């Protein structure tokens, strides 16, 4: 039995449009799992249902063997951090973190010990007396995390906590959150719409699409084995070709009807013919290319089929626009996917 079990979760706000469509999901104790998906797919609704902030239309939620479907928020033992910094503005860092413990009527000495530990955990020593307005967004979010973990919740829920924070600091905070989570072994559900963030953070990713779980798995498995067009587009920027397009590249090969996904970095290109019997090879023309830092992304054309190839930025691999190139793809890198 899993630590958290979502069983047949359905939710609609207006009784008509289903926001969550019969979701079954297991989360193991101590894992950090991510709900990944585009805006509006139901990530927050699912998270808020677990917290008790949203009532589900049907289904059952089990936490640590207990049916919590109808339990009030404060009895669920769940800590939550949101995208917007929701600190008490009139309280300093220490007071913000201590708030929940005071409400729980813990004694002063215990409170001050726990608060100190939580402050250490998120690297905010020296900021105890600062007010939220005196802190950066990243620091405020660390206070919010400390305020949640100091309560020693059974589950920590993080709803796009880093979305408002700029890229460089975001990397640091991703690492920070991961470290805290591993140290405390606290079961955590992290919500993001950012593929890279999900890859970096997660033990497991659950990819959501319009109220369903499209695919679940370890980050590398999702990246290398998308099951559908949606997953291939969302996670690896795959080339997606149907049978007829694939046959324009490879007229001599037999493919079944349906769709195929090819990851750009598995599309090899070179200036001379490729001599490798194990590879599918064909010719194409470079339409254009862009440099994304250490990676060059070529848009190639073969007949009227466009596709991309990504290669590490090494000077000898530069091809000009309009140049003919030879393309090689290993057969196992052409994945059959569903529509």
Q: Does 15 bind ligand ADP (CB under 6 A)?
A: no
Q: How far is CA 70 from CA 46, 58, 64, 75, 211, in A?
A: 15, 11, 15, 10, 21
Q: Does 44 bind ligand ADP (CB under 6 A)?
A: yes
Q: Does 49 bind ligand ADP (CB under 6 A)?
A: no
Size of the site for ligand ADP (CB under 6 A): 10
Please provide the DSSP assignment of 200-246 as one string.
Answer: HH-SEEEEEETTEEEEEE-HHHHHH---BHHHHHHHS--EEEEHHHH
Residue number with CB closer to Mg ion (44 or 268): 44
Q: Find out whether 149 and 80 touch, Cβ atoms under 8 Å.
A: no
Q: How far is CA 54 from CA 13, 87, 164, 246, in A?
A: 10, 21, 24, 46
Report the residue from 43, 147, 206, 263 that binds ligand ADP according to the rule CB under 6 A.
43
Q: Does 92 bind ligand ADP (CB under 6 A)?
A: no
Residue number with CB closer to Mg ion (92 or 195): 195
If we measure between CA atoms, which residue out of 86, 58, 60, 55 comes closest to residue 72?
55
| Nearest-approach distance from CB 36 to ligand ADP, in angstroms | 10
Distance CA 212, CA 41 (A): 8
Burial of 224 (0-12, 13-18, 19+ CB in 10 A): middle
Residue number with CB closer to ligand ADP (43 or 127): 43
Residue 88 contact, options ligand ADP, Mg ion, none, Cβ 5-8 Å cut-off depending on partner type: none
If we measure between CA atoms, which residue out of 49, 65, 64, 80 comes closest to residue 157?
80
| Nearest-approach distance from CB 44 to ligand ADP, in angstroms | 3
Size of the site for Mg ion (CB under 5 A): 1
Q: Find out whether 187 and 155 touch, Cβ atoms under 8 Å.
A: yes
Residue number with CB closer to ligand ADP (45 or 266): 45
Report the residue from 8, 24, 28, 40 that binds ligand ADP according to the rule CB under 6 A.
40
Q: Does 42 bind ligand ADP (CB under 6 A)?
A: yes
Report the residue from 13, 67, 110, 290 that binds ligand ADP according to the rule CB under 6 A.
13
Positions 40 through 59 that interact with Mg ion (CB under 5 A): 44
Sites of contact with Mg ion (CB under 5 A) = 44
Name the residues that contact ligand ADP, by CB under 6 A: 13, 19, 37, 39-45
């Amino acid at each position: 039995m899993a630590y958290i079990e979502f069983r047949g979760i359905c939710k609609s706000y207006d009784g008509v449009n289903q926001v969550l469509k019969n979701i079954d999901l297991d989360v193991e104790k101590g894992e950090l799992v991510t709900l990944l998906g585009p805006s509006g797919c139901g990530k927050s609704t699912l998270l808020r249902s677990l917290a008790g902030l949203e009532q589900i239309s049907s289904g059952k939620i089990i936490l640590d063997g207990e049916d919590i479907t109808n339990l009030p928020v404060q009895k669920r033992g769940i800590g939550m951090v949101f995208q917007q910094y929701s600190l008490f503005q009139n309280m300093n860092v220490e007071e913000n973190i201590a708030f929940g413990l005071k409400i729980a009527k813990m004694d002063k000495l215990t409170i001050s010990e726990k608060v100190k530990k939580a402050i250490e955990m998120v690297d905010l020593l020296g900021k105890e007396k600062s007010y939220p307005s005196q802190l950066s967004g990243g620091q405020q979010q660390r206070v919010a995390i400390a305020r949640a973990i100091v309560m020693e919740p059974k589950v920590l829920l993080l709803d796009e906590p880093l979305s408002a924070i700029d890229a460089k600091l975001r990397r640091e905070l991703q690492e920070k959150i991961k470290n805290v989570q591993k140290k405390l072994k606290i079961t955590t559900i992290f919500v993001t719409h950012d593929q890279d963030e999900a890859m970096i953070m997660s033990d497991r990713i659950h990819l959501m699409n319009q109220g369903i779980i499209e695919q679940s798995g370890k980050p590398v498995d999702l990246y290398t084995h998308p099951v559908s067009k949606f997953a291939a587009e969302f996670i690896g920027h795959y080339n997606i070709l149907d049978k007829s397009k694939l046959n324009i590249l490879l007229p001599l090969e037999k493919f079944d009807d349906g769709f195929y996904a090819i990851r750009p970095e598995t599309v090899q290109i070179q200036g001379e013919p490729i001599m490798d019997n194990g590879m599918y090879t064909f010719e194409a023309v470079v339409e254009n290319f862009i440099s994304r830092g250490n990676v060059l992304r070529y848009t190639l054309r073969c007949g009227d089929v466009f596709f991309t190839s990504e290669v590490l930025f090494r000077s000898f691999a530069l091809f000009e626009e309009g140049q003919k190139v030879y393309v090689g793809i290993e057969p196992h890198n052409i994945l059959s996917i569903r529509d």
